Each structure stands twice: as structure tokens, then as C-alpha cells.
């Protein structure tokens, strides 16, 4: 158990709909990362938050947005869903950005989104 | 920008033999970590091994070891005495830990699917 909790584990929805994926990082971790993994492919970095602020953006579509709340949990919002958005969405957390940090990312078990 | 390249999409090895997975990276940062993560069919991401860039000694974790060539920006993973449970996708990853605007940025390679055959 990595200590990172993602909900829901599975989600099936229709095209055009909107969903919200939730991530609770490990206790004390300030940084949250979101990744998308399509079937049998690598991890595509979407976005990173650090202590409530957006830190880095990757290949995140405009239809997607995210935020990190004061209690450090994060939500990834996916709207106007398309078939191609079907994927496993991972959240990961790490303690700090730099300095005394092992750099390891602690991954949740992922949220599997299926768009029909 | 930092990049991570895994040039072997798929590999296979016989049980009990040794296999090496390749990874190269590109960065201008000085303070960083490199990682190998394993993703078995369960899809859970599991840390296999980490290497601090400032350490010359190659990291080892039981049957897993790395060959870190900093000047060549190469970071290969060697799995000795391969076991059936090692069958998984393996990702090479980079984390910048420099005190700059790129601090905390993480980049993953595309992965290598390793199959261990009985």
C-alpha cells in the first residue's frame, strides 16, 4: 500500500459526459502528479501541483483541468469525454520538490475510465 | 527539457537467466534521481530501484542492479536470476531535484515489456 488513494477505481460513462477523479496523497506529501496511461502505452504526464499551486503542465487537453485543495487532495476533471479518453489515470505524490527528497513517486492504484 | 528514451519496446528472457533493459536520458540539470518502476499486469506502479545522480556507485537491490553512466547519460537495469514474477512493463524515470523552476519535474520513458519464459 503506497498510501495514495484514488477514487473511483473504475468508471464507465458516455461520450460528452464529465467526470471527476479524486486523489488523496500520502500524509505529509505536498506534491501531486497526474498521469494518463492508455492501453499498453507509457505514462503521459498531465499536470503537477505543489502545495495547492500548479507547478508543471504536460500534454493535458483543454477539456481537462485539475486542482489541489488546501487539504492537499487533488481532483482531475475530464469534460466533453471522447472515446479516446478511455485510459488508466494515475495519481502520484511526493514529499517535496527538491532538497531532502528521495525523488520517489508514490502511485495510487489508478482510476480506470471507460468512455462508451 | 528532459527526455527519457527506452529503445526496447519488448524483451524476453528465460527463467533464471539475466536480462538488461536500456535507458538513456537527456538533461541539463545537475541534481536529479533516476528510477526504474515496474508495472505488472495488475497495473500497480512499483519502484524497483533508484539512483542519485551525484553517487558514482551503482545502486543494487537484491537481483536488480543498474549500470549508471552519467557522462553518457545512460541508466540500464540488470535483472539477474529472472523469475516469472518479473514479467511486467518496466519504466525508466527521471526526477529533477535541482533548486530551480524545474524542481520536481518527472519524466517517464515509454516502457519496455519484459516477458520471463519458463
| Locus of grid cell 482510476 | A111
Task: Answer whether residue A97 shows pLDDT above 60.
Answer: no
- Search chain B and give the residue with CA nearest A33: B106
Give the residue on A whose Cα is nearest the Cα of B110. Answer: A42
pLDDT value for B115: 97
Q: Which of residues 50-69 of A touch B (CB under 8 A)?
A: 50, 55-56
* pLDDT (tens digit per residue) in A67-89: 999 999 999 999 999 999 999 99
Report how far residue B16's alpha carbon sits from residue B88's, in angstroms, rounded to the nearest whole number: 16
Work out the minimum CA distance from B91 to partner chain A, whole angstroms: 8
CB distance B93 to B86 below 8 Å:
no
Instruction: Say how far apart CA A108 and CA A25 lie, in whole Å.
Output: 8
Are A43 and B91 in contact (CB < 8 Å)?
Answer: yes
For residues A88 and A11, the answer to whether their CB atoms sit within 8 Å is no
What are A110's three cell numbers?
Answer: 489508478
Identify the band that residue B90 occupies on the pLDDT scale cut at 50, 70 and 90.
very high
* 3-class SS of residue A84: helix
Using the predicted structure, report yes or no on whether residue B97 has a pLDDT greater than 80. no
pLDDT number for residue B98: 74
Question: What pLDDT was estimated at residue A94?
Answer: 86
Collapsed DSSP state (helix, strand, coil) of residue A85: helix
**pLDDT for the residue A103:** 72
Judge whether B85 and B91 are in contact, CB under 8 Å: no
Calpha distance B29→B21 (Å, rounded): 24
What would the mean pLDDT of B33-56 be, rounded to a whole number? 91
**Rounded mean pLDDT of chain A?**
91
- pLDDT, tens only, B1-20: 789 999 999 999 999 999 99
Q: How far apart are CA B79 and CA B19, in angstroms?
A: 5
Peptide bond into A8 cis (omega under 30): yes
- In this predicted structure, the answer to whether residue B81 has a pLDDT above a threshold of 60 is yes
DSSP code of A3? S
pLDDT band at A96 (very low <50, low <70, confident <90, very high): low
Contact assignment for A107 to B44 by CB distance below 8 Å: yes
- Give the start-end residues of each E strand in chain A: 5-7, 10-13, 19-24, 31-37, 44-50, 53-57, 64-68, 74-78, 87-94, 106-107, 111-115
Q: Could you report the per-residue pLDDT of A12-66, keeping only the tens digit for each? A: 999 999 999 999 999 989 999 999 998 867 888 899 998 999 988 888 999 999 9
- Ramachandran sector of residue A51 (left: φ over 0; alpha: ψ -120 to 50; beta: rest): left
Cross-chain residue pair A35–B108, CB shorter than 8 Å: yes
- Residues of B with Cβ-Cβ distance to A33 under 8 angstroms: 106
Query: H or E segment at B91?
Result: strand B88-96
Identify the band that residue A101 occupies on the pLDDT scale cut at 50, 70 and 90: low
**How close B104 comes to chain A (CA, Å)?**
4
Sign of the four-CA dihedral B92, B2, A54, A63: negative
Q: Within the 31-70 window of chain B, which residues sit less than 8 Å (CB to CB) from chain A?
A: 31-33, 35, 43-45, 47, 50
Enumerate the H helices of B13-86 as residue ranges: none
Residue B83 reports pLDDT greater than 90 = yes
Output phi, psi for A56, to 5 deg. Answer: -150, 150
Q: Which of B31, B44, B106 sits opposite A105 (nearest CB)?
A: B106
Beta-bridge partners for B21: B77
Summary mean pLDDT of chain B: 92
Amino acid at each position: 500500500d503506497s498510501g495514495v488513494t484514488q477514487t473511483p477505481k473504475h468508471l464507465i460513462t458516455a461520450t460528452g459526459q464529465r467526470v471527476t477523479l479524486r486523489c488523496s496523497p500520502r500524509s505529509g506529501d505536498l506534491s501531486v502528479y497526474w498521469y494518463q496511461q492508455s492501453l499498453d502505452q507509457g505514462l503521459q504526464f498531465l499536470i503537477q501541483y505543489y502545495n495547492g499551486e500548479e507547478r508543471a503542465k504536460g500534454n493535458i487537453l483543454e477539456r481537462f483541468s485539475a486542482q489541489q485543495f488546501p487539504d492537499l487532495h487533488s481532483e482531475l476533471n475530464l469534460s466533453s469525454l471522447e472515446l479516446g479518453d478511455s485510459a488508466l489515470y494515475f495519481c502520484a505524490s511526493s514529499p517535496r520538490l527538491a532538497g531532502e527528497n528521495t525523488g520517489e513517486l508514490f502511485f495510487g492504484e489508478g482510476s480506470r475510465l471507460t468512455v462508451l | 527539457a528532459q527526455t527519457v528514451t527506452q529503445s526496447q519496446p519488448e524483451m524476453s528472457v528465460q527463467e533464471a537467466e539475466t536480462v538488461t533493459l536500456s535507458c538513456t536520458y537527456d538533461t541539463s540539470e545537475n541534481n536529479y534521481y533516476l528510477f526504474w518502476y515496474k508495472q505488472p499486469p495488475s497495473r500497480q506502479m512499483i519502484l524497483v530501484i533508484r539512483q542519485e545522480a551525484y553517487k558514482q556507485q551503482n545502486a543494487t537491490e537484491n537481483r536488480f542492479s543498474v549500470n549508471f553512466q552519467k557522462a553518457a547519460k545512460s541508466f540500464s537495469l540488470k535483472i539477474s536470476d529472472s523469475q516469472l514474477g518479473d514479467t511486467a512493463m518496466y519504466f525508466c524515470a527521471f526526477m529533477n531535484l535541482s533548486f530551480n523552476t524545474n524542481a520536481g519535474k518527472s519524466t517517464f520513458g515509454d516502457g519496455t515489456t519484459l516477458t520471463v519464459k519458463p
